[in-house]
């Protein structure tokens, strides 16, 4: 199966399930995030990262290092890493690093931006605690030094906005050409 087809099947299958206490499905959430990035004029790689940021939640195979009985805390804090690792078979770091870092970007924004915590959904607040909570000062400096930190912060903001049950996101097919163009040869 081709990479974009495999990704599309995740959106249509497991992506159609509830999104961990949010008012939209996981697939709808990711499509909304991709559409928001596109509307903001983000570059192709960042649009792809926004679209795919929660792919680690919909992967059905066991995740490396996670026993079948792994806790929800492990899955919540590790979905960015798991998604980036899986996507890296086809995409370069301009796509995979913002996916990997979007969880850490939430911790970062809670630390450096007054009022950001108040914008989080109830589920995002709950998972923040599972993901390590706000950062310590040394973590802030280390995050800011990462090459894709700015893109991860942008993806995080679209992640936070992409939970609108009244919004109608585009179909996955809208992004197939973009994803196909970004696949490494």
Residue 14, pLDDT score: 84
Residues 99 and 102: their CA atoms lie apart, in Å, by 6
> What are the beta bridge partners of residue 36?
none
> What are the beta bridge partners of residue 18?
25
Residue 123 CA, chain-centre distance (Å), reads 15
Whether the Cβ atoms of residue 150 and residue 104 lie closer than 8 Å to each other = no
Residues 158 and 10: their CA atoms lie apart, in Å, by 20
Q: Comparing 22-36, 68-82, 142-156, which segment has the lowest mean pLDDT?
A: 68-82
Chain segment 128-178, per-residue pLDDT in tens: 888 889 999 999 999 999 999 999 999 999 999 999 999 999 999 999 999
Multiple choice CATH, 3-182, 1.10.3210.10, 3.40.50.2020, 3.40.250.10, 2.60.40.10? 1.10.3210.10
Residue 58: HSE in the Cβ half-sphere, 13 Å Cα cutoff: 26
pLDDT bucket at 11, cuts 50 / 70 / 90: very high
Residue 101: HSE in the Cβ half-sphere, 13 Å Cα cutoff: 28
Residue 19, pLDDT score: 66
Chain segment 41-53, per-residue pLDDT in tens: 999 999 999 999 9
Residues 73 and 67: their CA atoms lie apart, in Å, by 13
Average pLDDT of span 19-40: 90
End-to-end CA distance of the chain: 15
Residues 75 and 149: their CA atoms lie apart, in Å, by 22
The answer, yes or no, to whether residue 66 has pLDDT greater than 60, is no
pTM of the complete model: 0.89
**Mean pLDDT score of the chain, rounded to an integer?**
89
Chain segment 90-126, per-residue pLDDT in tens: 999 999 999 999 999 999 999 999 999 999 888 888 8
Burial zone of 84 (CB within 10 Å; 0-12 exposed, 13-18 middle, 19+ buried)? buried
């Amino acid at each position: 199966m081709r990479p974009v087809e495999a990704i599309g099947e995740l959106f249509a299958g497991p992506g159609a399930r509830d999104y961990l206490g949010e008012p939209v499905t996981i697939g709808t959430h990711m499509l909304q995030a991709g559409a928001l990035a596109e509307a903001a004029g983000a570059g192709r790689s960042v649009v792809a990262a926004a679209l795919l940021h929660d792919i680690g939640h919909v992967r059905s195979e066991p995740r490396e290092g996670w026993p079948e009985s792994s806790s929800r805390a492990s899955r919540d804090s590790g979905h960015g890493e798991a998604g980036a690792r899986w996507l890296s078979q086809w995409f370069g770091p301009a796509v995979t690093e913002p996916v990997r870092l979007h969880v850490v970007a939430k911790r970062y924004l809670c630390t450096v931006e007054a009022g950001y915590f108040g914008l989080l959904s109830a589920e995002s607040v709950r998972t923040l605690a599972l993901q390590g909570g706000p950062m310590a000062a040394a973590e802030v400096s280390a995050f800011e030094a990462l090459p894709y930190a700015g893109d991860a912060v942008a993806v995080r903001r679209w992640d936070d906005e992409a939970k609108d049950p009244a919004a109608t996101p585009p179909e996955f097919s809208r992004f197939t050409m973009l994803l196909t163009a970004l696949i490494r040869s």
